[in-house]
Amino acid sequence: MRILHTMIRVGDLERSIAFYTEILGMRLLRRQDYPEGRFTLAFVGYGPESEGAVLELTHNWDTAAYDLGNGYGHLALAVPDAASACAEIKRRGGKVVREAGPMKHGTTVIAFVEDPDGYKVELIEAK
């Protein structure tokens, strides 16, 4: 067994695809409209779905926004240098909500950015 994808619901699919591809550097792997169900699925990731887990962006055509709730935490991405990644994300128009620095009660360097729907993405500096 392996993890295939994580799904999040997004209010504006084009804005979300732009964030994950233009700001975080993922690729749009596939996209499919389901007119009878009034939704679209878009899959983004850093490599082919056959080789690793990806992110499924679900856009329900009649829903502009979602309550994120308090059970969801964040996505996590490994980066070579968290401070440099934050600088590049800001340069591309992304929102950094926690600058790079050691995690609370530890030494791992982390940072957090926020996607257009308010989902948090943690950047973890590779050791």
Distance CA 87, CA 93 (A): 10
Distance CA 93, CA 74 (A): 20
State yes or no: is 122 an active-site residue: yes
Domains of the chain are: 5-60 (3.10.180.10), 75-125 (3.10.180.10)
Q: Which residue has the tokens 């308090």?
A: 70
pTM of the entire predicted model: 0.91
User: CB within 8 A of 98, min separation 6: which ones?
Assistant: 110, 111, 112
pLDDT of residue 15: 97
User: Which residue among 22, 49, 122, 125 is the active-site one?
Assistant: 122
pLDDT of residue 6: 95
Residue 1, pLDDT > 90, answer no
**For 78-115, how does the pLDDT look when each residue is reduced to its tens digit (9 = 90+)?**
999 999 999 999 999 999 999 999 999 999 999 999 99
The whole-number average pLDDT for the span 47-76 is: 94
Beta bridge partners of 8: 57
Residue 127 pLDDT class (50, 70, 90 cuts): confident
**For 13-48, how does the pLDDT look when each residue is reduced to its tens digit (9 = 90+)?**
999 999 999 999 999 999 999 999 999 999 999 999
Beta strands 120-125 and 75-79, pairing class:
parallel
Q: Which residue has the tokens 């050791």?
A: 127
